[in-house]
Amino acid sequence: MTVKTLVLTGFGINCDQETHQAFACAGSDVTRVHLSDLLETPALLDGAHIFVVPGGFSYGDHVSSGKILANRLRHQLEVPLRQFVEKGKLILGICNGFQVLAKMGILPFFDGTVSQEVTLTTNESGRFENRWVHLAVPENTPCIWLKGITKFELPVRQGEGKLIVRNDAVRDRLHKEGLVALRYVRPDGAPAAGVFPFNPSGAEDDIAALCDPSGRIFGLMPHPEAFLDGMNHPEWTRLGLAEEGEGLALFRNAVEFARTSLC
Amino acid sequence: MPTHRIEVALRPEFKDPAGEALRAQVREDLNLEIGAVRVIDVFTLHAALTAEELERIRMDLFTDPIIEHSAVNASLAENFSCLIEVGYLPGVTDNAGRSAQEGIEDSLGRKLAQGEAVYKSTLYVFQDTDAETAKTIASNLLANELIEQYAIRTPEEMKALAGKSLLALPRVVEYAVPEVESIDLNLSDDALQQLSRDRMFALELGEMQVIRDYYNRADVQAHRRSIGLPDKPTDIEMEILAQTWSEHCKHKIFNAVIHYDEGNGKVRVIDSVFKSYIKKLTDEVGKRVPWLVSVFDDNAGIIQFDENHLFALKAETHNSPSALDPYGGAMTGIVGVNRDVLGAGLGFQCIFNTDVLCVASPFHDEEIPPRLLHPRRILRGAHAGARDGGNQSGVPNVNGALVFHERFLGKPLVFCGTGGLSPAYIQGRPAHKKAARPGDAIVMTGGRIGKDGIHGATFSSEALHEGSPATAVQIGDPITQKKMSDFLMEARDAGLYNCITDNGAGGLSSSVGEMAEKPGGAVIHLDKAPLKYAGLAPWEIFVSEAQERMTLAVPQETLGRFLDLAERRGVEATVLGAFNDSGYLECFYKGEQVASLDMDFLHHGLPRMELEACLAPSPDPVEVTAGEGKSDLTDDLLSLLGSLNICSKENFVRMFDHEVLGQSVLKQFQGVQHDGPGDAGVIRPLPDSYRGIAVSCGISPKYADLDAWSMTACAVDEAVRNLVAVGAAMGTIAGLDNFCWPDPVQSDSTPDGKHKLAQLIRSCEALYEICLTYDIPLISGKDSMKNDYRIGDTKISIPPTLLFTAAAIIEDTRRVVSVDVKQAGDRVYVLGDTLNEMGGSEYFTLQQISGGKAPTVDPKKARTLYEALNRAIQGGLVASCHDCSDGGLAVALAESAFAGNLGMDLSLEALGVEDGVTALFSESQSRFVVTVSPDHAEAFEAVLAGSPCYCVGVVTEEPLFQINCPDGRKISASLDVLRSAWKKTLNW
């Protein structure tokens, strides 16, 4: 059976096209669904294995980034999304989508509880920036999206990427359970240790991504869908043209996981 | 109606980046050291809400539980010396307020009632700043009094307010709709001119007379009486004519008959510079290139991308609005040009933006004339507007420039460009063809109409003066536009409409008026138009330039589906009337006819201008040589690298999203540390094809005073060089011409108008000659002809400026080349000849030397070189390639070296230029710096045989940049020193 992916669009989401492309490249059937249609027909989720909230500026990031969309999903889709997760299905949030998942409280999803434990807020620099970063995957993460990946480079394009956790108890749990799925590092792999531009936002503990304890719900600030192609890399004209972009592996992992566990 | 106030802020234990950013800006822009600043977001709710509801909204929507705290009807500000609250004036677009209202409705599970609304404002809390300093900060940095209000309060004053609002509620007070007036034109000539000025018609006397004569015609009067209209024109008819006939819409100067005295006594007649140069050029080149699809007659130029796709390109200026409000002006510039592409053919998806800003030095330290803003404020504001407009629309910025010249103090130039892609056929229909048919519904989609942007078209058709209207200023709403463009792409693919165009200058009057030309008429009911607030006169509804609106012709058969889809997508769509073949544009308001204009008179009644041009004798090209002097020119190079027109703009560029859509192939910044300046942006729009688009720009106002021909030729050549440098082939390049000129019409206030018009002709001649030789058709363009400032005795006219935007289809993006040198041992070549052309150069500017000879372009010779270089690139022989422009060879070589993090050891003997200063800093055109692996050197030289190609040295492992000139002059600096000199100037 074919893996089916539902990519959310509408109201200022703007990376849906390349996110669609990413899952299609990874071998999934992809449908882009407008938020209005999904709110009207939540059963659309039933036919999908993977649900994605792409990057963009949902509702202009007014009030705070991702907040209004997060509230819409929480008020109107919490039950269907919880059921979606309970069936062992996958959820991805990229950039603004990660902000949405975090603020609606479905990440980190401790003990299956929808509750906001972290937030993403204005970068330390106070400005939106587009730059490439180095990322490392902590060994203990259960994140199925990052299976077999230890490090890669991706672009960030964010004004509110600084992750802050609720308190030290949450922080300890995130680290202990491997829910910190990606960390910003220096080009040589040493921790960014909060230093700009290696950690581009000032995110606490260099956290660039989180997953839930099952490893199936995943949110990240960098854009893997912006590196499907070797030519997307800023140095490809000096390093040589790779056959594919490093971001693609992540989507392939998810589609492969869904194929073996859900189809 | 009660008003509630919710304040939200970061809790005190968290650092406040917005407050810190303001503090830094106060330090940089105002030269003041101030203590801590905290920022509080304020939402004022003008709505009937219970205490329980307010609490729910506060927690559910406004307060981030991890980092924020908040208060209802109480202030969070404490331990402060004073505070400033900044909010909008009534009627100004408040995007955050509107989004917050949607969020509130979600949290409450109900809609707010009619008349209820949410307004956003911001409170800046200063720890140890006095009220006087706060006023300086408010008026210079925080608030633009044309669109914003502010209040400053001390702790005592705050206590007295007891949680009440500091600002007046920015609610538009509704007032009665003014009656439609009729306007008497049977007046003396003086009175006609006065009338045109007083009502912002911006029409010339001759034009007013033609309108008067039309209304005095017996047949016209008979027709008017038969439909119950007065003999005299109604106010709305005059407004329609004024905007349709404005310089902005009709390009009267480009279409004028010009008597041109070239200075030799002979006068020749030029029958429209547009037809004689621009259109003629494109017609001729069109016979040689097979890929032109639609030029000049749509919102954007359209060419073939591949067999199945079309590519649209357009650039616009938004100078006048940006002078008054840089943020709103630039934002509406970028979202406006996006709509041009969205409204080209049956609708194109926007795939990239370009942004070029021209301002005076941000370090300008003399007094600023009244009504002008400091260049630093313009730069920051316009950049932020273009950034937010592009980023929030999800369109990547791939190319652009920041250009500095002292005379942009009078009027900044804000150029916004957009490229778009569409399938070649939509449901079997050619995507570039469209036409409204009689019977089609006139549907307006997107935003609502307010008083914002009234008289934009006529306002931009005159100099900035004391009476320039604040209503011409507006703020964009990229999210409303994004929703609309998503919806329109769906409607397009479903084949739901026949024709589409955007509402830009002139608003509905322009969009409906233009679309009605094909069917031959239209009836429109202005009372059906959705308004932001009541109280607009019919004429205001029709000419308002309120943003985010498109006008469509929707067939009756698909109208239901169209409106239904719009509703599902949260996009407002309203039927305003229908197209017909009556021969008249007719407007009704509440059932009564208020306008009836003969379509033929409206579109063809404008008399052509007759103008005179005379080239003032140019100052003798002073033979200036840099002459004697020191032999070590390292400091000169470092100063040049740090000069405004050369230094790194990375901090500005990085704030643009340049990779959304995932199509990026060559970015603005390249090399080992991603900080070397790229020549052209390259994208690959289709995932299953290596075909790509390269886009670049050229702009050289600094040569304009020496010779408008050179200014133009250099702009075109620079744009083309940038494309050739990445691997574009001649014969694949399309161009856009955007002219920004000071008023070239001779008058009392413009005594040198004849010369400025002659400069325009010189410019068009250069454009024609260069593009013809390069086979570049001009597929679209625009002119902005009144870029002057005139208040009291102060007049500032911008230097005549052409922005040349160029795009090329790249057959195989795998072959493109970047600027950074790749490998130690590679040979360094200079392509193209270096001449003594130092006039207007960055080096002369630095040394404060005026005069000299501006660079010229030999297009035939250049074309031969460009073709050879392209063969070398396609053959894989070139490791790096960088265009040589501002600052000359030394700058281009240094940039290539530090981009690759490798040194260079160079000797310029081969160039055959005796004077080292000329060799290093002359800005001769059509040159490149290329590096080639020693393995390919022989083949490379063979391919370049017949063109000027000089090997000047090698790339070195040692991070040292050294140049020796035959006259003993030299440069020697480490890469770090070069890089930091280049980066520090605009490192804000």
Assigned domain for B794 exists: no
- Kindly list the residues from chain B whose CB atom is less than 8 angstroms away from the CB atom of residue A57: 391-392, 394, 478-479, 482
Assigned domain for B520 exists: no
Instruction: Retrieve residue B880's tokens.
Output: 């790096």
Instruction: For Cα atoms B125, B128, B129, give the angle at the middle one, nearest 5 degrees.
Output: 75
- pLDDT tens for each residue of B12-22: 999 999 999 99
Q: How confident is the model at residue B626 (pLDDT cuts 50, 70, 90)?
A: low
Closest Cβ–Cβ partner in A57, A126, A237 for B17: A126
Instruction: For Cα atoms A245, A251, A257, give the angle at the middle one, nearest 5 degrees.
Output: 140
What does the alpha-carbon distance between residue B403 and residue B842 come to, in Å, rounded to a whole number? Answer: 12
Say yes or no: B149 and B233 in one domain. no
> To the nearest whole angstrom, how far is the Cα of B660 from the nearest Cα of chain A?
7
What does the alpha-carbon distance between residue B345 and residue A76 come to, in Å, rounded to a whole number? Answer: 39
Determine the pLDDT at residue B384. 95
Strand partners, B118: B45
**Any idea which of A25-39, B333-347, B619-633 has the lowest mean pLDDT?**
B619-633
Interface of B with A in 467-506 (CB under 8 A): 478-479, 482-483, 486
Query: 3-class DSSP state for residue B679?
Result: coil
The predicted model gives B296-310 an average pLDDT of: 95
Say yes or no: B885 and B925 in one domain. yes
Put simply, whether A31 touches B (Cβ < 8 Å) is: no
Say yes or no: B80 and B121 in one domain. yes
What does the alpha-carbon distance between residue A69 and residue A71 come to, in Å, rounded to a whole number? Answer: 5
Say yes or no: B65 and B8 in one domain. yes
Say yes or no: B864 and B976 in one domain. yes
The predicted model gives B117-145 an average pLDDT of: 93
- pLDDT tens for each residue of B718-735: 999 999 999 999 999 999
Q: Do A123 and B687 touch (CB under 8 A)?
A: no
Put simply, whether A59 touches B (Cβ < 8 Å) is: yes
Would the pLDDT of B629 be above 60? yes
Say yes or no: B131 and B225 in one domain. no
Q: Which residue does chain B place closest to A155, by CA atoms?
A: B659
Using alpha carbons, list the distances in angstroms from residue B271 to B259, B275, B612, B782. 9, 7, 12, 18
In what order do the strands lie in the sheet containing B349-359?
B292-294, B301-306, B309-317, B413-423, B349-359, B397-404
Q: Do B394 and A15 touch (CB under 8 A)?
A: yes
Assigned domain for B235 exists: yes
What does the alpha-carbon distance between residue A35 and residue A19 come to, in Å, rounded to a whole number? Answer: 16
Would the pLDDT of B36 be above 60? yes
Put simply, whether B161 touches A (Cβ < 8 Å) is: no
- pLDDT tens for each residue of B80-115: 999 999 999 888 888 899 999 999 999 999 999 988
Q: How confident is the model at residue B222 (pLDDT cuts 50, 70, 90)?
A: very high
Determine the pLDDT at residue B535. 82
Low-confidence ranges of chain A (pLDDT < 50): none
- pLDDT tens for each residue of B473-514: 677 889 999 999 999 999 999 999 999 999 888 889 999 999
Say yes or no: B145 and B44 in one domain. yes
- pLDDT tens for each residue of B777-799: 999 999 999 999 988 888 999 99
Determine the pLDDT at residue B444. 97
- Kindly list the residues from chain B whose CB atom is less than 8 angstroms away from the CB atom of residue A72: 106
Q: Which residue does chain B place closest to A37, by CA atoms?
A: B568
Interface probe for B, chosen from A35, A36, A63 (most Cβ of B below 10 Å), is A63
- Kindly list the residues from chain A whose CB atom is less than 8 angstroms away from the CB atom of residue B352: none
Annotation says A223 is catalytic: yes
Closest Cβ–Cβ partner in A11, A72, A241 for B483: A11
Using alpha carbons, list the distances in angstroms from residue A29 to A24, B223, B354, B678, B867. 6, 63, 34, 38, 45
Domain boundary, last residue among B225, B250, B275 = B250
> To the nearest whole angstrom, how far is the Cα of B938 from the nearest Cα of chain A?
22
Put simply, whether A169 touches B (Cβ < 8 Å) is: no
Contacts of B132 (CB under 8 A, 6+ apart): none
How many domains does chain B contain in total?
Answer: 3
Put simply, whether A2 touches B (Cβ < 8 Å) is: no
Q: Do B486 and A10 touch (CB under 8 A)?
A: yes
Interface probe for A, chosen from B27, B59, B67, B93 (most Cβ of A below 10 Å), is B67
> To the nearest whole angstrom, how far is the Cα of A38 from the nearest Cα of chain B?
11
Tokens 């208060």 sit at which residue? B71
Domain boundary, last residue among B143, B161, B179 = B161
- Angle, helices B753-774/B859-874, rounded to nearest 10 degrees: 40
Put simply, whether A129 touches B (Cβ < 8 Å) is: yes
Would the pLDDT of B467 be above 70? no
Put simply, whether B289 touches A (Cβ < 8 Å) is: no
What's the mean pLDDT when you consider all of chain B? 93
Residue B979 Ramachandran class (φ > 0 left, ψ -120 to 50 alpha, else beta):
alpha
Assigned domain for B363 exists: no
Closest Cβ–Cβ partner in B64, B482, B656 for A64: B64
- Kindly list the residues from chain A whose CB atom is less than 8 angstroms away from the CB atom of residue B483: 10-12
Output the DSSP codes for chain A. ---EEEEEE-TTB--HHHHHHHHHHTT-EEEEEEHHHHHH-GGGGGG-SEEEE--B-GGGG-SSTTHHHHHHHHHHHHHHHHHHHHTT-EEEEETHHHHHHHHHT-SS-GGG-----EEEE--TTSS-EEEEEEEE--TT---GGGTT--EEEEEEEESS-EEEES-HHHHHHHHHTT-EEEEEE-TTS-B-TT-TTTSSS--GGGEEEEE-TTS-EEEESS-GGG-SSGGGSTTHHHH---SS-TTHHHHHHHHHHHHHHH-
- Kindly list the residues from chain A whose CB atom is less than 8 angstroms away from the CB atom of residue B20: 126
- Kindly list the residues from chain A whose CB atom is less than 8 angstroms away from the CB atom of residue B120: 62
Instruction: Retrieve residue B819's tokens.
Output: 């600027």
Closest Cβ–Cβ partner in B10, B102, B662 for A225: B662
Say yes or no: B919 and B846 in one domain. yes
- Return the top range by mean pLDDT from B358-367, B454-463, B527-536: B358-367
CATH of the domain spanning A4-262, picked from 3.40.50.2000, 3.90.1010.10, 1.10.10.10, 3.40.50.880: 3.40.50.880
- Kindly list the residues from chain A whose CB atom is less than 8 angstroms away from the CB atom of residue B684: 229, 231
Interface of A with B in 136-155 (CB under 8 A): 155
Domain ranges, residue B136: 3-161
Instruction: For Cα atoms B24, B899, B822, give the angle at the middle one, nearest 5 degrees.
Output: 160
Assigned domain for B225 exists: yes
Q: Which residue does chain A place closest to B815, by CA atoms?
A: A237
Using alpha carbons, list the distances in angstroms from residue A131 to A15, A68, B817. 17, 26, 21
Q: Do A237 and B670 touch (CB under 8 A)?
A: yes
Buried b / exposed e along A46-85 (16+ C-beta atoms within 10 A): eebbbbbbbbbbbbbbbbbbbbbbbbbbbebbeebbeebb
Put simply, whether A15 touches B (Cβ < 8 Å) is: yes
Secondary structure letter of residue B978 according to DSSP = H
Secondary structure letter of residue B493 according to DSSP = H
- Kindly list the residues from chain A whose CB atom is less than 8 angstroms away from the CB atom of residue B106: 68, 71-72, 75
Question: In CATH, what number is assigned to the domain containing residue B53?
Answer: 3.30.1280.10
Determine the pLDDT at residue B473. 67
Annotation says A235 is catalytic: no
Q: How confident is the model at residue B621 (pLDDT cuts 50, 70, 90)?
A: low
Q: Do B66 and A118 touch (CB under 8 A)?
A: yes
Put simply, whether A36 touches B (Cβ < 8 Å) is: yes
Instruction: For Cα atoms B927, B930, B935, give the angle at the middle one, nearest 5 degrees.
Output: 145
- Kindly list the residues from chain A whose CB atom is less than 8 angstroms away from the CB atom of residue B897: none
- pLDDT tens for each residue of B682-720: 999 999 999 999 999 999 999 999 999 999 999 999 999
Say yes or no: B115 and B203 in one domain. no
Interface probe for A, chosen from B26, B39, B66 (most Cβ of A below 10 Å), is B66
Determine the pLDDT at residue B622. 59
The predicted model gives B766-784 an average pLDDT of: 97
Say yes or no: B894 and B837 in one domain. yes
Assigned domain for B917 exists: yes
Q: How confident is the model at residue B536 (pLDDT cuts 50, 70, 90)?
A: confident
- On whether the CB atoms of residues B678 and B664 are closer than 8 A, the answer is no
Say yes or no: B45 and B102 in one domain. yes
- Kindly list the residues from chain B whose CB atom is less than 8 angstroms away from the CB atom of residue A78: none
Spell out the domain ranges in chain A. 4-262
Main-chain dihedrals φ then ψ at residue A147, nearest 5 degrees: -55, 130
Determine the pLDDT at residue B457. 58
Say yes or no: B113 and B221 in one domain. no
Determine the pLDDT at residue B172. 78
Domain boundary, last residue among B250, B270, B297 = B250
Q: How confident is the model at residue B470 (pLDDT cuts 50, 70, 90)?
A: low
Beta strands in B425-509 (DSSP E): 425-426, 429-430, 441-446, 499-502
Assigned domain for B256 exists: no
Which amino acid is residue A209, in one-letter code?
A
Using alpha carbons, list the distances in angstroms from residue B630 to B31, B624, B627, B671, B722. 36, 17, 10, 33, 33
